[in-house]
Amino acid sequence: MLEVQNLIKTFDGERQKRRSRKQVSGNGEAPRVFAVNDVSFKVEPGELFTLLGPSGCGKSTTLRSIAGLEQPDAGVVSVGGNVLFAAGGTQKRVNVPANKRGLGMVFQSYAIWPHMSVFENVAFPLRVRPRRQRPGKREITERVERVLETMELLQYAERHATKLSGGQQQRLALARAIVIEPSLLLLDEPLSNLDAKLRESLRFELKRLQRELGITSIYVTHDQIEALSLSSSIAVMRAGEVVQLGKPRAIYENPSSKFVAEFIGTSNFLDGTVASRDGDRHVVETRDGRLALDSGAHVTPGTEVVVSIRPEAVMLSTDHPAGAENVWEGNVTTRAFLGDAVDHVVTVGKHEIRARCLPHISHAPGTTVYLDMQPGKLSLVPVD
């Protein structure tokens, strides 16, 4: 459906300056020059694909390059086989202007035109079509009303757009984006302007709509929970590059780097050396003891690695658990009650390990506890 290849975009206006500095800096580490550096991915029809990363990672620039609002320096963007943008190298330069791409987009601020009514906002994309492709008046009314009905906004059609509540504005922005039935829907942090409660309910709403309408969507967010709960695939970005691409569960359970593990959820990191390997089973020697874990990475013994342990993978008990493989002994330092969970920080040797327990498990600071870490829930991450 959507294919992005080798997309490159340098920072605006800094190309000249940066380039000269790069020459001066000689053989040292190249300074960060790119807003987007060599980003490639493919999105299948009907997918909800998420670009996830901290602010400044280039996710918005990538999205805006797909929309045609930014001009990349090089790369190819094609939707459904039509090349929308191509530049760099020997290829013929193509750059379809944003208003000819026929995509739908929901902006972070919703960008609802305050001088138009709800109806007029949604009708706008149909009304500005070139004369030959423009639907008739009656068809415009029908289509707008149909979309407004889907979004449960029909009763507000004549209302001034600025008079809507936050959630309604969000649905209006979505209605406007899908009224032309775009082949691709772009969503730029569409939920970040809402309060936490509303955000949660709209998240499910968005997922339902996307699935019902079957629109291929690109979703940009810095919120890992949004990304995990909504997406069919996620591309985690950092400093202009895609660092990991995959299904939400795979990324959460097997982060490919410390950055991903840290950015998506929280994690404990333990440095160590692989002592032995048998099939998927690795044994890692850390400063405070051995850990057995299963990983498809197949690291050769002797390699230095980092073990990533999710807090919820650590089970605490005051009795030594029988038959468990990785059991360490430690001392509870702090405890925090979160409502649906209890966080503990446990000191083991020189390490502090965070453990998240069910609300009925609670150990007072000072208690000696046993940490049980199942080999299947630990993952290996390369040393940075």
Partner 1 sequence: MTTATPTRPAPPAPSVDPAPWDVPRWRRFIPTPKFLTLGVVALVIAYLAIVPLYYLFWGTFFDESGFTFSGFERAYGNHQIFSLVGNSLWFAVGAAAVSLVIGTALAYLNVRTDVPFKALFFAASIIPLVIPGILYTIAWILLGSPDIGLINHYLEPVFGRAVIDVFSVWGMIWVEGLQLSPIVFLLMVASFRSMDPSLEESALMSGASRWTVFRKVTVPLARPAIVAAILIMVVRSLESFEVPALLGLQNGTYVFTSRIYFVLRDYPPDLSAAGALAIGLLVIAIIGVVISNFAGRASKNYQTVTGKGFRPRPMELGKWRPVAGVLIVGYFLLTVIAPLLVLLYTSLLKFYAPPSKDTLKSMTLDNYRALAHTADAITALKNSLILGLSSATLVMAFMAIAAWIVVRSKIRGRKVLDGLAFLPLVVPGLVMGLALSFVYLRSPIPIYGTLFILLISYCTRYLPYGMRYSVTSMQQISNELEESALVNGASWWQTFRRVLLPLLMPGLIAGWIYILVVSFRELSSSILLYSPGNEVLSILIFEQFENGQFTVLSALGVVMVLTLVVLVTVAYKLGAKVGLKQD
Which residues here bind partner 1, judged by CB under 8 A? 3, 5-6, 8, 10, 12, 67-69, 73-74, 76, 78, 81-83, 86, 88-92, 94, 96-105, 107-115, 124-125, 128-129, 160, 163, 176-177, 180, 186
- β-partners of residue 184 are 216
Which residue lies nearer to partner 1 by CB, 154 or 180?
180
Which residue lies nearer to partner 1 by CB, 93 or 350?
93
| Gap between the terminal Cα atoms of the chain | 34
Which residue lies nearer to partner 1 by CB, 10 or 308?
10
CB of 92 to partner 1, least distance (A): 7
* Residue that is written with structure tokens 């048998």 in the block: 278
Which residue lies nearer to partner 1 by CB, 71 or 368?
71
Q: Letter for the amino acid at 72?
A: P
Q: Do residues 316 and 335 lie in contact, with contact meaning Cβ atoms separated by under 8 Å? A: no
Buried b (16+ CB within 10 A) or exposed e, 219-255: bbbbbbebbbebbbbbbbbbbbbbbbbbebeebbebb
- DSSP letter for 185, please: E
CB of 3 to partner 1, least distance (A): 8
CB of 211 to partner 1, least distance (A): 23
The helix or strand, by DSSP H or E, that contains position 21, with its residue range, turns out to be helix 15-25
The helix or strand, by DSSP H or E, that contains position 274, with its residue range, turns out to be strand 268-278
- β-partners of residue 185 are 104, 217
Which residue lies nearer to partner 1 by CB, 97 or 136?
97
Q: Supply 133's token pair.
A: 């492709």
CB of 117 to partner 1, least distance (A): 10
Which residue lies nearer to partner 1 by CB, 23 or 318?
23
Rg (CA), the chain: 25
CB of 125 to partner 1, least distance (A): 4
CB of 268 to partner 1, least distance (A): 39
Q: Do residues 233 and 49 lie in contact, with contact meaning Cβ atoms separated by under 8 Å? A: yes
Which residue lies nearer to partner 1 by CB, 131 or 197?
131
CB of 126 to partner 1, least distance (A): 9
Residue 278 CB partners (closer than 8 Å, separation 6+) = none
